[in-house]
Each structure stands twice: as C-alpha cells, then as structure tokens.
C-alpha cells in the first residue's frame, strides 16, 4: 500500500470513533509529501464536512493532494428482508434461482380450497420489509396455470409485523388440496414512492384525456374457445355470424344486429360461415 494511502487511512481512523457509521459527502484532505523525504506524508483535514448516518452511502473522499491517490469507496449497504419464524413449521422464504424476482412463501397447514372458492393460508412468518419498498404477493405460475390458483389482496406494508397470510382463489372446477410445507405463492419486493397528496382544481391536459377502458382497441377478434359454443347455443341466429382468425388484413366492424353478437369484426375481403362446432 503506498505510504500516502496508509497515511490517509490512519488519519481518517483518528477522526471517526470506532463503530461509527459515516456518510462521506465531502471530506477535504490536504496531503503533503515530498518524494525526496523519507518521512511519511502528513495529512491535514481542511474541511470537515461529513455526516453521521444510519446507512452508508459513501462517495470517495475529495482529496486535494500534490500526489494523487484514492481512498477506497465503501459498497452501499443492501436492503435486508428480515423474517421471523413464528412456529417450528415455518420456513424462511426462498428463491428458486439466482435471479428469481420472487421469494417463494411456504404454507404451514393442510387446507382444502374448494372449487371456485378461496382460502387464507397461514405461513407462520412475520417480515420486516425495508422502508421504501412493499411486498407484493403474487401467484406461482405453475399453480395458476395447472390449478387455476390466484392470489388475492397481496400488499404487504413495510411497517406490518403481524403474521403473513396468503389469500388463494381457486378459479378451477376442482378442489385443491394445499399441504403444509407447500410453496403456495411468491413475494416480490417492489420499490415504491409515497408522494404527498395534493388536491387540485384542474389536472393538466394530455393526448389521452379521459379515454380508457379499451379506447385504443386491440382486442375482440375471436372469442375464446368455448365462448363461441355458448354464444351459438344462446342465440341460434348467430350461426349466420362470421368468426375469423386474427388477420393482418383490414377489417370492418359490422353493426350490432338485433339478436346477433355485437361488433363482430369481418375482413373486408373474406367471409366464412361459422362452423357448426368451434374448434
């Protein structure tokens, strides 16, 4: 280690009591050394502008020196997700892979969620999410696609210290058995801002204005499998209606007939009678 760096470190060590966390916003040091001299360089503090802080966000100290050197910058402290296990059945959330966004959450009880019903599953953990973040409870995609299991509620506040519970909806037509120890959902830690709320008499104008709820289009080409059959059953006249696969051809929108489905999109050039049975 160069003598000048050693001298700077030793000097900083004298300025800051042990175990004190300091944010270095600006620390001006003047370093005097002479290449010919055998004595160690002298370090003098010329501006003492550093701040005690709970978190360390150090930028390198500013050093005015005739002999350029650098003071190592500290790595910012990463936020921590604290987890308290509330029973011996509880498990610390885990991530399935190195870059997984969500922490898998484990249930601690056997619970039967009836078809088209819901249930609240205990996890027996309490968490302390870092300030400036919240935990979003999200479904596990495997459970959602294979068993129609979706999560509900799902906002875990940073100041909540009670037991974490998972609300699961079973949107399928079959009962779903949750077993103790299953990974039932995942929690994603998301950054938030909580701006001050200001009531104003008018909002600024935008191109969208108050258009919403599908005003830009982009859907309504072909009903989902099954929906087509149902529409046919209900309204036999609709057999005359035309269903088309999504196409890049220009489409026209037929006006709503008295009995038929509304706004079926038809390509300008092609028409086909709907098949007896949809695929």
Q: How far is the CB of 29 from ligand DUT (least distance, A)?
A: 46
Residue 266, Cα to own-chain centre: how many angstroms? 40
* Residues 169, 150: Cα–Cα separation, whole Å: 5
Exactly one of 27, 31, 58, 156 binds ligand DUT (CB under 6 A); which one? Answer: 156
Nearer to ligand DUT, 163 or 267 (CB): 163
Binding status of residue 165 toward ligand DUT by CB under 6 A: yes
Structure tokens at 208: 């969208």
Binding status of residue 155 toward ligand DUT by CB under 6 A: yes
Evaluate whether 44 touches 80 at the Cβ level (below 8 Å). Answer: no
Structure tokens at 116: 């088209």
Span of 23-31, 34-42, 158-166, 217-225 interacting with ligand DUT by CB under 6 A: 158-166
Q: How far is the CB of 268 from ligand DUT (least distance, A)?
A: 49
Name which of residues 194 to 253 contact ligand DUT (CB under 6 A): none
Q: How far is the CB of 156 from ligand DUT (least distance, A)?
A: 4
CA triple 117-110-93, angle to 5 deg: 100
Nearer to ligand DUT, 165 or 183 (CB): 165
Q: Closest Cα partner for 87 from 103, 71, 70, 108?
A: 108
Nearer to ligand DUT, 9 or 165 (CB): 165
Nearer to ligand DUT, 139 or 261 (CB): 139
Nearer to ligand DUT, 29 or 185 (CB): 185
Binding status of residue 154 toward ligand DUT by CB under 6 A: yes
* String marking each residue 134-153 x if it binds ligand DUT according to CB under 6 A: ---x---------------x
Evaluate whether 5 touches 69 at the Cβ level (below 8 Å). Answer: yes
Residue nearest to ligand DUT (CB): 160
How many residues contact ligand DUT, by CB under 6 A? 10
Structure tokens at 199: 């009531």
Exactly one of 160, 169, 180, 223 binds ligand DUT (CB under 6 A); which one? Answer: 160
Sign of CA dihedral 198, 202, 207, 208: positive
| Residue the block writes with tokens 């079973």 | 170
Sign of CA dihedral 210, 216, 221, 223: negative
Binding status of residue 157 toward ligand DUT by CB under 6 A: yes
Element (H, E) at 102: strand 102-106
Count of beta carbons in the 10 Å neighbourhood of residue 38 = 6
Binding status of residue 6 toward ligand DUT by CB under 6 A: no
DSSP 94: B
Per CB under 6 A, residues contacting ligand DUT are: 137, 153-157, 160, 164-165, 167
């Amino acid at each position: 280690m160069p003598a000048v760096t050693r001298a700077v470190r030793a000097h900083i060590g004298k300025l800051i009591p042990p175990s004190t966390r300091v944010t270095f916003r600006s620390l001006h040091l003047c370093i005097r050394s002479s290449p010919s001299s055998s004595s160690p360089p002298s370090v003098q503090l010329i501006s003492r502008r550093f701040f005690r802080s709970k978190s360390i966000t150090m930028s390198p100290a500013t050093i005015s020196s005739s002999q350029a050197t650098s003071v190592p910058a500290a790595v910012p402290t990463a936020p921590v997700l604290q987890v308290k296990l509330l029973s011996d059945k509880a498990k610390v959330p885990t991530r399935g892979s190195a870059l997984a966004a969500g922490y898998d959450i484990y249930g601690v009880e056997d619970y039967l969620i009836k078809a088209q019903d819901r249930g609240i599953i205990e996890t027996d953990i309490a968490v302390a999410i870092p300030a400036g973040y919240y935990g979003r409870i999200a479904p596990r995609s495997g459970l959602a696609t294979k068993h129609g299991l979706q999560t509900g509620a799902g906002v875990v506040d940073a100041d909540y210290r009670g037991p974490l519970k998972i609300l699961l909806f079973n949107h399928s037509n079959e009962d779903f058995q949750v077993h103790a120890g299953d990974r039932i959902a995942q929690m994603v830690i998301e950054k938030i801002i909580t701006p001050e709320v200001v009531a104003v008499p008018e909002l600024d104008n935008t191109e969208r204005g108050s258009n919403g709820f599908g005003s830009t289009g982009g859907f309504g080409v072909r009903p989902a499998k099954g929906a087509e059959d149902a529409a046919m059953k209900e309204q036999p006249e609709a057999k005359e209606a035309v269903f088309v696969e999504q196409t890049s051809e220009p489409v026209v929108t037929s006006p709503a007939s008295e009995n038929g489905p509304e706004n079926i999109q038809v390509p300008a050039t092609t028409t086909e009678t709907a098949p007896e049975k949809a695929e």
